Amino acid sequence: MATEDTPRGDDESSPFQARAEYEATTADVYQQMIESWMIAPMRVLWDDYRGRIGIIIVTIYVLMGTVGTLFIEVPSFNQGPALVGPFESLAYPLGTTSYGQDLLGLMVHSTPAMFKMMIAGAIFGNAMGVVVGLISGYMGGNTDKILMTITDTMMSIPGLPLLLILAALIEPTNPWLIGIILNIQGWTGLARAIRSQVLPLRKKEYVEASKTMGQPTSSVLTKDVLPEMLPFITMGFMNGATGVIHASVGLYFLGILPFTNQNWGVVLNDAYRGSGALYNIDAAHWLLVPIVTITGMTFGLTLLAQAFDQVFNPRVRARHQARKRNKEDDDPRDGDDDGGVDSIANQLGD
């Protein structure tokens, strides 16, 4: 709108007409985007010890769920001798159950369904949370009131009992659907968090500017407001995924979800109920292997979530940088000073 009125003279000296010497190609733009959205955060994550461990752990599980399923055969009953201890034979590295199933196979072949559930649940929770939170915070008024009432109502229903009813009513077997059901309340917290972030944001100058320029609400929301919400979205994703793991294993352990999928919880259930692994020390590994697997996965995700805090929180980042610098300056005090003088002297000499 504004540009139509401004005279398009050839006046090169006007600061409003300044042009870069080089034109940015599409490739440059994408490269920059990848640089700032993918590589830089990954670098920060990798620099943080928690992030590094988290990435490694999650990668292992991803490999287990993709490549691992190709190499390790689908476990079946009486596939090997019953209750082989862990690390005793190469064929069954993690031992076998009393039904003669290979525990490693059970773990590996549960992973793909687990990932499907996590992804479905986390995406569903995030999408709902972002949409509700953004609209509620940005629109305000009655829209806000209605949406927040719904959110608070959803939030006030205790999760597990609600899941029990839903699982009993629907008896879902599709992992994607299970994931969504398990995270059915996951969006509420995120929606509230995002709403409270959006509230002050909608009065910010640049948002006002976009509005005055006649940008449609949807583009103001996605271009100006949403990027600020990235930390919450990432955290929401991690929390959603962890929540889905806990809930799914819990429900499978209780035996409430139909046992059509392999799941760590099913193994746990078998071990707890079927075998007396609680009394029998020979069967302890049957209980231990799924426990370690579940804990490892959630541990990796929690670490990643922690490390993402570093990526998004400039204050934390700045403080760590400063501390690193301080340490480098302070620690070897005498030697370092000399070195500094030396190098400056060298530079001067050159």
Give dist(CA 341, CA 197) in Å, integer. Answer: 49
Q: Exposed, middle or buried by CB within 10 Å (0-12, 13-18, 19+), for 178?
A: buried
Task: Please give the residues from 213 up to 232 whose contact with other proteins meets the rule CB under 8 A.
Answer: none
In the complex, minimum distance from the CB of residue 246 to other proteins, in angstroms, rounded to a whole number: 4
State which residue, 303 or 311, has the beta carbon closest to other proteins: 303
Alpha helices per DSSP H over 140-223: 141-155, 159-170, 175-182, 186-201, 205-212, 217-219
What values do phi and psi take at 313, rounded to 5? Answer: -95, 100
CA 96 to chain centre: 32
Give dist(CA 104, CA 196) in Å, integer. Answer: 45
Is residue 158 a contact residue for other proteins (CB under 8 A)? yes
Is residue 22 a contact residue for other proteins (CB under 8 A)? no
Give dist(CA 233, CA 241) in Å, integer. Answer: 12
Binding part of the chain for other proteins, among 33-41, 69-77, 89-97, 153-161 by CB under 8 A, reads: 153-161
Task: Please give the residues from 269 up to 288 whose contact with other proteins meets the rule CB under 8 A.
Answer: 272, 278-279, 281, 284, 287
State which residue, 64 or 271, has the beta carbon closest to other proteins: 271
In the complex, minimum distance from the CB of residue 341 to other proteins, in angstroms, rounded to a whole number: 30
Is residue 50 a contact residue for other proteins (CB under 8 A)? yes
In the complex, minimum distance from the CB of residue 268 to other proteins, in angstroms, rounded to a whole number: 7
- Binding residue for other proteins, selected from 29, 33, 42, 165, defined by CB under 8 A: 165
Binding part of the chain for other proteins, among 12-20, 29-37, 76-84, 298-306 by CB under 8 A, reads: 298-306
Cβ contacts of 185 within 8 Å, gap of 6 or more: 154, 155, 157, 159, 162
Give dist(CA 102, CA 78) in Å, integer. Answer: 9
SS3 96: strand
In the complex, minimum distance from the CB of residue 37 to other proteins, in angstroms, rounded to a whole number: 24
State which residue, 80 or 111, has the beta carbon closest to other proteins: 111
Is residue 201 a contact residue for other proteins (CB under 8 A)? no
User: Count of CB atoms within 10 A of residue 136's CB?
Assistant: 25
User: Count of CB atoms within 10 A of residue 298's CB?
Assistant: 17
- Binding residue for other proteins, selected from 95, 125, 189, 236, defined by CB under 8 A: 189
In the complex, minimum distance from the CB of residue 345 to other proteins, in angstroms, rounded to a whole number: 34
- Mask: binding to other proteins, 239-268, rule CB under 8 A, as x and -? ---x--xx--xx--xxxx-----------x
- Binding residue for other proteins, selected from 29, 62, 63, 168, defined by CB under 8 A: 168
H/E run at residue 7: none
Is residue 329 a contact residue for other proteins (CB under 8 A)? no
Is residue 58 a contact residue for other proteins (CB under 8 A)? no
Q: Exposed, middle or buried by CB within 10 Å (0-12, 13-18, 19+), for 201?
A: middle
Give dist(CA 9, CA 38) in Å, integer. Answer: 40
- Mask: binding to other proteins, 75-94, rule CB under 8 A, as x and -? --------------------
- Binding residue for other proteins, selected from 7, 9, 15, 161, defined by CB under 8 A: 161
Cβ contacts of 350 within 8 Å, gap of 6 or more: none
Identify the bridge partners of residue 96 per DSSP, sorted by sequence position. Answer: 102
**For binding to other proteins (CB under 8 A), which residues are involved?**
50, 140, 144-145, 148-149, 152-153, 155-162, 164-165, 167-169, 189, 242, 245-246, 249-250, 253-256, 268, 272, 278-279, 281, 284, 287, 291, 294-295, 298-299, 301-303, 306, 309, 315-316, 320, 323
